[in-house]
Structure 1
């Protein structure tokens, strides 16, 4: 579900800012034109994402950035987005559970696909960063953000350091980050884990604290090829349960007795290895990129992601990029399609249980095409159309395939 991915990205982008914005500080410092130190750039953008019959996202973005001196850069960003659609509740297909959706969304049932709950949410996020060049080859970046949704609030920040070698062929990166999150249903309550929907006890908002550490290395291999590798360690403590997700108690033939709210462990430790290589094809302006990501965590959600893309210009201002992605993950160690019971008696419940398809065995394959039209030197319109197929090992939802479309408009103003 895109909503969950967004929440994860909030934490990871804090660390990424330490690496990316440091380069901006270095580029600004290399200029000998003193007038640049007081120049400011405003970037605005719009992103549309749609999976028919599943989710629609409208995102509006704005960022202002500039140079306070020959060694200092600052930026301030604002994001507002709306999300509408439906998501599996975790209950069996024939279940008619009534799980309150975000901002009052109701519940429904989709034949053969599992019970679903509609959602309608908005998010407002603000982030700021300050980059500083301490020496010619050493840069730092400090960042902070606040993100508020109807059922999720996150406050976080990060600190990143970059060091180049004398020939600038290598760049070493180290960053730390942290966030404090508050999670609840839209009524600002969280249900007691593994309690029945019909007789659930509710508590206040759940708290979660996350700590991240990143180490990275980038290498200019030659005038046409660059590569990078990052290793990230993340640890989160507190409320990890999704307050909207449920799990069915049923017999071996999927005859449902009752439905419980899920329960996840209150601690999660992750390790992520990410690598990428970009190569410019000789004789033109074409580029080939390849990336690999490995994820493992204390929940045994081990995953592999391989992505590849090839970009080329067909005419001035027109760029095409076919791309593909393969993703495989192993199910969490507490994942269960249902809680199996012969008579529906709840005397021997597991310590943790979730039937969220996002925690199941899954293989997804994506293939698509990106088209970019450069409207000006600082503006572009990007269209991305792709087909994604998801195959689950054992889940309350069936295998599915869908087209998705993204439209991204951006413009910079000096």
Structure 2
């Protein structure tokens, strides 16, 4: 019973690692396809991934490959206005277009492709000590990223608790796909001012503790801190300077701070119901950063065993975040219609930095087709409500199918 809920908890971040007691060297491949589609012809994402895992005598080796295609229309940051004639630059370097008075002028089309490769090695050093290390590379039309991780775990002698710690480093390169550059911060989009590629380095650290509380309950808590330095601005996002009637006077590229300090506290409990194979999975995450964003995430899952080969897992997630200190729907203008740029030099109308409340509801079905083959199907509905953004609502459907084969 304890082993069963431990396996469920392993799905969480920095979870208990799989036992190396099984010395058989087996391969498994876990393939998955995910479709994410927003309403009103907004963003669509198709994700295909494959994870290859090799069970070794002293641990395991995991190799992952991901391919994403993204398309649709995304808010640029410009306000909706029926009294403007503006040329926008599309995300991912797909060029510009002129829009006037359609009510959706601030939605700009884009297409993008992402490929990611990663590998992780988990190694049992002694009966109670385990290390892990890995790397990942990701490339898009206008973004490149390389990251490394290293972690260590110490189990108690009785195997009822463990402490784990981890470090990660990521370096990113950001640029506009067509021009291979980044726009000048808070520059008028008609000026053509541009700089070279943006660089950003991110450092993360995590400390976690997991404990079996009793035969039916296991709990986990971890704390993390991250610091990123360098280019944080989205090179495609703009902000409008407009009068009190929302008549656009000019558009400027956004500008964000050149560093970000993030902290998070995460807790999770998995409890197996008495005299059953059903379990409840409940987690909470508190996040805050020095941009003024604080978020709360509450996630719950109910694992309902149908038969010894099938299960259902309803899922409900609630998320709320405050707006960034430098978020603004638009820039004001003075009586002479001159734009009033912020003294701080940072401002963004990116809706993702607005105050947000989000609810996700869905269900997953699992079926063990054979001892070596598992099928998983998942469907979810997402609703987002923003406070100030012109695009104050967003809805999306998520469908995923996964197949795991051991050989």
Q: Helix, strand or coil for the counterpart of 1:216?
A: strand
1:100 corresponding residue in structure 2: 90
Q: Helix, strand or coil for the counterpart of 2:54?
A: strand
1:269 corresponding residue in structure 2: 261
Q: Helix, strand or coil for the counterpart of 1:98?
A: strand
> What's the RMSD between the two structures over aligned residues?
2.3
1:7 corresponding residue in structure 2: none
Count of paired positions: 389
State how far apart, in whole Å, the 1-side matches of 2:375 and 2:101 are.
35
Q: Helix, strand or coil for the counterpart of 1:120?
A: strand
1:58 corresponding residue in structure 2: 46
Q: Deviations over 1:23-70 (max 9, x none)?
A: 23xx22x23x5xx1x4333333322222232222222222322245x3
2:297 corresponding residue in structure 1: 305
Q: Does 1:334 align with 2:321?
A: no
Q: How does 1:25-36 map to 2 (within 5 A)?
A: 27-28=19-20, 30-31=21-22, 33=23, 36=24
- Report if aligned partners of 2:36, 2:396 keep a CA contact under 8 Å in 1: no
Q: How does 1:6-405 map to 2 (within 5 A)?
A: 19-20=14-15, 23-24=17-18, 27-28=19-20, 30-31=21-22, 33=23, 36=24, 38-52=25-39, 53-68=41-56, 70-94=57-81, 96-102=86-92, 104=94, 115-187=106-178, 188-315=180-307, 317-342=309-334, 343-346=336-339, 348-350=341-343, 351-400=345-394, 402-405=395-398
| Deviation beyond 4 Å, 4+ runs, structure 1 | 105-114
How does the TM-score come out when normalised to structure 1?
Answer: 0.87
How does the TM-score come out when normalised to structure 2?
Answer: 0.89
**Structure with greater helix percent:** 1
Q: Following TM superposition, by how much is the alpha carbon of 1:297 offset from its aligned partner in structure 2, in angstroms?
A: 0.4
Q: Following TM superposition, by how much is the alpha carbon of 1:19 offset from its aligned partner in structure 2, in angstroms?
A: 3.7
- Deviates further, 295-304 or 366-375: 366-375
State how far apart, in whole Å, the 1-side matches of 2:265 and 2:121 are.
27
Q: Helix, strand or coil for the counterpart of 2:352?
A: helix
Unaligned 5+ residue runs, structure 2?
1-10
Change (3 A) 1:366 1:40: closer
- Report if aligned partners of 1:209, 1:238 keep a CA contact under 8 Å in 2: yes
Q: Deviations over 1:77-109 (max 9, x none)?
A: 211121122211010112644212225265568
Q: Deviations over 1:190-236 (max 9, x none)?
A: 11011111113111210000000000011111121111111110000
State how far apart, in whole Å, the 2-side matches of 1:116 and 1:326 are.
27
State how far apart, in whole Å, the 1-side matches of 2:310 and 2:134 are.
34
Unaligned 5+ residue runs, structure 1?
1-15
- Report if aligned partners of 1:49, 1:57 keep a CA contact under 8 Å in 2: yes
State how far apart, in whole Å, the 1-side matches of 2:45 and 2:192 are.
32
State how far apart, in whole Å, the 1-side matches of 2:217 and 2:96 are.
51
State how far apart, in whole Å, the 1-side matches of 2:356 and 2:162 are.
35
State how far apart, in whole Å, the 2-side matches of 1:109 and 1:365 are.
34
